[in-house]
Amino acid sequence: MGFRCVLVVSSLCLAITVATFAQTKKQPTAPGKTAKVNRKDGLTYVWIPPGTFQMGCSPGDTTCDNDEKPAHTVTITKGFWIGQTLVTEEAYHRVAGTNPSQFHGNRLPVETVTWEEAKAYCEAVGMRLPTEAEWEYAARAGNTASRYGDLDAIAWYQANSGEQTHKVGLKRPNAWKLYDMLGNVSEWTADWYDKNYYSQSPSQDPQGPPSGQCRVLRSGYYYDPAENVTVTVRFGRYGPDYKDSNSGFRCVGE
């Protein structure tokens, strides 16, 4: 949720960003393209079409923090590919030659990864980290609610995880066939965090603030309570050198 940034070890903690959460103004049409496998990491990526949606606190959600407000209209002008699952330990080891995770299993999401390491991985496979707006748009998949389904059916979180990560793809996906967009591990985005960014965010393809101290994590993780596992919650307290078992990622590309 909206926390004060904690500088963890850091000279790498350089600037401030925004977290971008979305409600869909108009339900996007189903992707014209479907999926492809990236030969560099072996993971499947799903095509997300352009569209317009409402970012921020969902209608009727009384648990939103101030940094999830105001809800605002955002247009994603270009379609993009996004990982159908979180980056797995198997894929990360294939690309980086190492596995920093505290939990171990080929199909578990890689975790204990810094923002810098996540960025480097995505670039190594010809992709990048998603902006907050892209992440939220993809997570909602046309759904205007704070979650795209029943929480136990779609996410690993405090009440059902057994205090550990789980293999990707076991829970029900969203309408765009994306798995674990909520729970399991939180996901690094490209943006710096600024608790007031939503009041000044551009209406097209927002990139977050130009600078800041902490990067934004989205989605909630395996030990988060239910109120932290929504498509609008923003975690803005961690610098780019932060790493723990709660932090993972997925990549996007054009």
Average pLDDT over residues 153-182: 98
Between the alpha carbon of residue 144 and those of residues 28, 57, 77, 127, 194, the distances in Å are 11, 10, 19, 28, 23
Adjacent-strand bridge partners of 52? 75
> What confidence tens digit (pLDDT) does each residue in 187-236 have?
999 999 999 999 999 999 999 999 999 999 999 999 999 999 999 999 99
- We report the CATH number of the domain holding residue 122 as 3.90.1580.10
Adjacent-strand bridge partners of 192? 215
Whether residue 11 is contained in a domain is answered as: no
Q: Which amino acid would we find at residue 18? A: V
- Number of separate domains in the chain: 1
Confidence of residue 33 (pLDDT cuts 50, 70, 90): low
Whether residue 31 is contained in a domain is answered as: yes
Q: Which domain holds residue 126?
A: 22-253
Whole-angstrom distance, CA of residue 193 vs CA of residue 131:
11
Whether residue 133 is contained in a domain is answered as: yes
Between the alpha carbon of residue 4 and those of residues 1, 7, 234, 239, 243, the distances in Å are 10, 10, 11, 11, 17
Whole-angstrom distance, CA of residue 131 vs CA of residue 128:
9
> What confidence tens digit (pLDDT) does each residue in 77-127 have?
999 999 999 999 999 999 999 999 999 999 999 999 999 999 999 999 999
Whether residue 179 is contained in a domain is answered as: yes
For 201-225, letters b (16+ CB in 10 Å) and e give beeeebbbbeebbbbbbbbbbbbbe
* Pair of tokens at residue 143: 């759904």
Which residue blocks in 78-131 are alpha helix, DSSP H? 89-96, 115-124
Whether residue 106 is contained in a domain is answered as: yes
Q: Which amino acid would we find at residue 193? A: Y
Whether residue 6 is contained in a domain is answered as: no
Give pTM, 2 decimals: 0.88
Average pLDDT over residues 32-38: 83
For 220-237, give the DSSP string. Answer: --TT--GGG-SSS-EEEE
Confidence of residue 5 (pLDDT cuts 50, 70, 90): low
Structure confidence at residue 217 (pLDDT) = 98
Indicate the SS3 state at residue 137. helix
Whether residue 214 is contained in a domain is answered as: yes
